[in-house]
A and B are shown apart, each in its own frame.
Chain A
Amino acid sequence: VTSFFSHPLFGFSITILAYALATAVNRRWAVVNVLLGTCGGLAVLLLIAHIPYDQYNIGASYITFFLGPATVALAVPFYRHAKQIGRQVPRLLIAIGAGTVTSAVTAVGTAYLAGAPKIVLLSMVARGVTTPIAIDITNQLGGDAKLVAIITGLSGLIGALIGPFVLKRIGIRHALANGVAMGTSAHGIGTARALRSSAIQGGASALALTIAGVLTAILTIPIHWLFR
């Protein structure tokens, strides 16, 4: 049985199946979120069938591979809407900057108030940043690289789930404003969610995800100097 679960076809197929199933269910009952349905379904399956994640990931890692080319492909919606986005770049930069600082301060602040240890606080600084940049920043600060990967994953999941509702609730109507908010708050996963709303949102979100990552890296340099 182990050879069945550890065959690359298992993790690969089961993920595609869960995604197709969640997509179909989502079409029927819109309340079931595709990302949550897929991840939740797979997590429950692995836990109740006692399938080790490492065995699942032998096949599933082939799916993760496509994250690279998909990130590169984000250049297309950005290019397509460059005229609309381009004129607004200075204003969007102000918004992304404000959101980036807010993101880091509130993440560390709330964790501190909740009594989290220093290693957690240091790993919360890059919470909203795309995972590879977040890992670099966290290593620099002396946080836990494994922990920050979980934190960014959870951030993206939560941002993709509640982002569109929160933004609608507070009356954000402009596609560019919605896009940069999703990218700043929930990096690549937020961007993938924004793309489902519209290509222009996705393009703005791709811009925000890049700027927020680079900006957080730059802003943490003085923190590093202050506390080392």
Chain B
Amino acid sequence: VPGFAIILGFDLLGLLLHALGVPLPAHVLGMILLAAALFAGWVKVEWIEDAAGLLLRHMLLFFVPAIVGIITYASLLRANWLGLGGGILVSVVASLVVTGFVAERLLRNYEGPP
């Protein structure tokens, strides 16, 4: 529970900074702040690793309600299915291939095979 409280505290801090006008999403701000606090040594990773592990193990679950919500836009999807479906599929594959390929090549050239 203390670990969970620390994580929520940073989430809240992110929310505060976002409300004050920092142009990044609240939770992403919280993540950056928590990473900074870990590197600075203000927060010890042992304090939060159990809570973080539990949250991250089930992170896919937390996306479920938003994805199920897509069913409410069936008519919108039907009207533009080719552009939306095609664009998303092509773009997902293309960005996976380009990012993965560039990263793999650069990493292999500089540090040898994994």
Are B11 and A68 touching (Cβ within 8 A)? yes
Q: Give the contacting residue for B99; candidates A78, A99, A107, A191; CB below 8 A.
A: A99
Asked if residues A155 and B91 are in contact (CB atoms below 8 Å), the reply is yes
Segment 62-114 of B: residues with Cβ below 8 Å from A: 62-73, 76-77, 80, 82-84, 86-104, 106-108, 110-111, 113-114
Range class of the A interface residue count: 35 or more
Answer whether A64 and B62 are a contact pair too, CB < 8 Å, given A102-B98, A132-B25.
yes
Give residues of chain A (80-128) contacting chain B, Cβ–Cβ below 8 Å: 80, 82, 88, 91-92, 94-96, 98-100, 102-104, 106-117, 120, 124, 127-128
Give the interface SS of chain A, mostly helix, strand, loop or mixed: helix
With known contacts A110-B90, A132-B28, A176–B103 Cβ distance under 8 A: yes
Q: Is A223 located at the chain interface by the 8 A CB criterion?
A: no
Q: Give every chain B residue within 8 A of A47 (Cβ-Cβ).
A: 71
What is the CA–CA distance of A171 and B114 in the complex, to the nearest angstrom? 12
B contacts with A, residue count (CB < 8 A) = 76
A173, CB-defined interface residue at 8 Å:
yes
Closest Cβ of chain B to A200, distance in Å, is: 11
In the complex, which of the residues A64, A96, A175 contacts B65, with contact meaning CB atoms closer than 8 Å? A64
Evaluate whether A53 and B71 lie within 8 angstroms (CB atoms) in the complex, with A69-B55, A210-B28 already known: yes
Q: Evaluate whether A116 and B92 lie within 8 angstroms (CB atoms) in the complex, with A70-B56, A74-B56, A133-B25 already known.
A: no
Q: Is the CB of B89 within 8 A of A158?
A: yes
A-B CB pair tally, cutoff 8 Å: 320
- Select one of B58, B64, B76, B87 contacting A114, CB under 8 A: B87
Query: Which residues on the A side are within 8 Å of B58 (C-beta)?
Result: 19, 66, 70
Q: With A and B bound together, what is the CA distance between A149 and B106 in angstroms?
A: 33
Q: A: which residues have CB within 8 A of B?
A: 11, 15-16, 18-19, 34-35, 38-39, 42-43, 46-47, 53, 56-57, 60-61, 63-64, 66-80, 82, 88, 91-92, 94-96, 98-100, 102-104, 106-117, 120, 124, 127-128, 130-133, 136, 146-147, 149-151, 153-160, 162-163, 166-167, 170-178, 180-182, 184-186, 188-189, 191-193, 195-196, 202, 206, 208, 210, 213-214, 217
Please name 23 pairs of A and B residues whose Cβ atoms are closer than 8 Å in the assembled complex, sorted by A: A35-B67, A56-B65, A57-B69, A60-B65, A63-B64, A68-B26, A70-B59, A72-B7, A74-B31, A76-B34, A99-B98, A107-B87, A114-B82, A147-B73, A150-B76, A153-B70, A166-B93, A174-B103, A182-B96, A184-B96, A185-B95, A188-B59, A189-B67
